[in-house]
Amino acid sequence: MVPKGENVRMGDSKRCVFCEIVKGERPAHVVLDAPDAMAFLDARPLFKGHTLLVPRTHYETLTDLPGESLGPFFGHAQRLASAMESVLGAAGSFVALNNRVSQSVPHLHVHVVPRNRKDGLRGFFWPRQKYDSDAEAAEYATRLSNALANPA
């Protein structure tokens, strides 16, 4: 999510919040740090563990991502979805992305959200949850990161 009052021009990687996270210029709870992609907890999660997966290179939309990068990128999304179940005890996951419309940060990103039956997520009226503390967010990031580094 773009912090309130901060504008990011489309395609401008110099002012991109996600590029700043990738470069280590902005703090985030990192879940995955791979040569081609990074995943970190969403600052305004639908549910605790809600993770954003981004390519390290600034691509605005899915159609901008080179074809040879699709498999590896979505391989990371697949592993994150699996970690939601194995580590967080979720019954499943919601995996989605927006292209331009409803894309709050103009940098390709995939939402991987832990889901459970009757969790309150209905249509597009999504409840937002907060972590009780920065330490709790860090603990969720560590649990997911460890699952990705040491698959069962």
Positions marked active-site:
109
The whole-angstrom separation of Cα 16 and Cα 105 is 7
Both tokens of 123, joined, read: 């249509």
Cα→Cα distances 119→39, 46, 77, Å: 23, 10, 21
| 61: nearest Cα among 103, 124, 3 | 103
